[in-house]
Structure 1
Amino acid sequence: MVVLTKMSIEASAPRPPRIRRSPEAARENILAAAEAILVEQGPQALKLADVAKAAGVVHANVIHHFGSIAGVETALMERMIRQLAEKIIAGFDGEGATPGFGARALFDAFEAKGAARLAAWLELTGEGRRMTLVREVVDAVVQTRLAREVVADREAVVDVILLSIILAVGVGLFGPTLSDLLGRPPERARELALEMIQDRISDRV
């Protein structure tokens, strides 16, 4: 008579097949899981164990690809920046683009997906200066058709981008809350910030 214990049953149970991914796909899987946690719970919830569990991998896998949870945070911010840059650059090089397109795209990005909170979190934890990708993105935007046509001076373009990012992050973090506290509609902070950016662009046209 064979006695099946709980341990023997679990040992004999078929295990789910291991998913083999390329290094790029493995990184993307981990970052997608981290982004889901970021959106739902905020950057303070980005813990190594939770990211690994959400991605369906072991801790060592996350460490192998990113070194630490700080590496995940930085890579996640870079991923968001790249996605935003691709959208802005495509829009600026397309027909019918307007000067305010890039600013609106920035505000959309920082008001959604927890990007503003992650940017602030990286700065507060001393990781902000690791975001060297921002310079590459700015250089790419400066070279777009719209940027060259609307504001020929490179330094003026960079100033507009700097102003846009600072205002977009601020609105993403505090806009609706402060608007409500001051008796304004939740979108009022965004409207005022976009007006300020548009005025800056108009002065340079």
Structure 2
Amino acid sequence: MPTPKRLSPEASRDRALDAARRLLVAEGPQAVTLKAVAAEIGRTHANLLHHFGSAAGLQQALIARMASAISAAIRARIAETPADERDPAGIVELVFDAFDRDGAGALASWMILTGNQDALDPILAAIHGLVDELAIDLAPRPRPIAEETLQLMLMALGDALLGAPIARALGLPRRTARDIAADALRQPLG
């Protein structure tokens, strides 16, 4: 077996996080282990232990990266859309996709269920910063933006975990929760 190329600590960490994300999406949060990620990138368990300290540390770093990415995507969407053309449906899609398709909801839930009570801290920190920015830049809202964000996040998390079977059981289209979330954010003032 060839000797792995020496990478900088940052490059090694990034490569591990890329592999962890691929495993998360392909196999679920239970697959995001030091051993599995090490095998994926051709490194040793000890190498990843050095960078992350534990599987929980790896998962925490992954969820922090995901939270940063979704916050950046929302900022970009808002910045590129003129204020009079903004529709919350675009933001709803980004958030729901991050929790569902990209695995953030499953990973956060897995982390909490396995005893990592700080699992949501990176997501909450990223969202809090974003909400603070948006509260300044956006027009007045019918409810405080923090409340709207709470509603959107809870809906996206719930939909990621149980949306498909509940929609199916109720005979509703799969995207119904997304549509409800977008409609709630479109409510006019007063």
**The TM-score by the shorter chain falls in which range?**
0.7 to 0.9
For the pair 1:78 / 2:60, whether they are aligned, the reply is no
Out of 103, 122, 126, which is 2:111 matched to? 122
* SS of residue matched to 2:6: coil
1:102, 1:183 → 2: CA distance?
Answer: 26
1:197, 1:126 → 2: CA distance?
Answer: 33
How far is the alpha carbon of 1:107 from its aligned partner? 1.2
CA contact (8 A) 2:25 2:102 kept: yes
CA contact (8 A) 2:105 2:157 kept: yes
* SS of residue matched to 1:129: coil
Amino acid at match of 1:81: A
* Higher RCO (CA < 8 A, seq sep 6+): 2
CA contact (8 A) 1:38 1:46 kept: yes
5 Å-filtered alignment, 1:53-68, equals: 53-68=39-54
1:124–1:198 Cα change, 3 Å: farther
Query: What does residue 164 of structure 1 align with?
Result: 152
1:108, 1:147 → 2: CA distance?
Answer: 25
CA contact (8 A) 1:85 1:137 kept: yes
Out of 43, 62, 79, which is 1:93 matched to? 79
Query: What does residue 108 of structure 1 align with?
Result: 97
- Structure 1: give runs of 5+ residues left out of the alignment: 1-14
2:108, 2:67 → 1: CA distance?
Answer: 10
How far is the alpha carbon of 1:52 from its aligned partner? 0.8
Query: What does residue 4 of structure 1 align with?
Result: none
CA contact (8 A) 2:100 2:159 kept: yes
How far is the alpha carbon of 1:116 from its aligned partner? 1.2
How far is the alpha carbon of 1:96 from its aligned partner? 2.2
Query: What does residue 23 of structure 1 align with?
Result: 9
Query: What does residue 3 of structure 1 align with?
Result: none
CA contact (8 A) 1:34 1:51 kept: yes
CA contact (8 A) 1:175 1:190 kept: no
Amino acid at match of 2:177: A
TM-score, length basis structure 1: 0.80
Query: What does residue 12 of structure 1 align with?
Result: none
Report the structure number with the largest CA radius of gyration. 1
Amino acid at match of 1:161: T
TM-score, length basis structure 2: 0.86
Identity between Structure 1 and Structure 2 (%):
33
How far is the alpha carbon of 1:51 from its aligned partner? 1.4
How far is the alpha carbon of 1:142 from its aligned partner? 2.5
Query: Once superposed, what is the RMSD of the aligned Cα atoms?
Result: 2.3
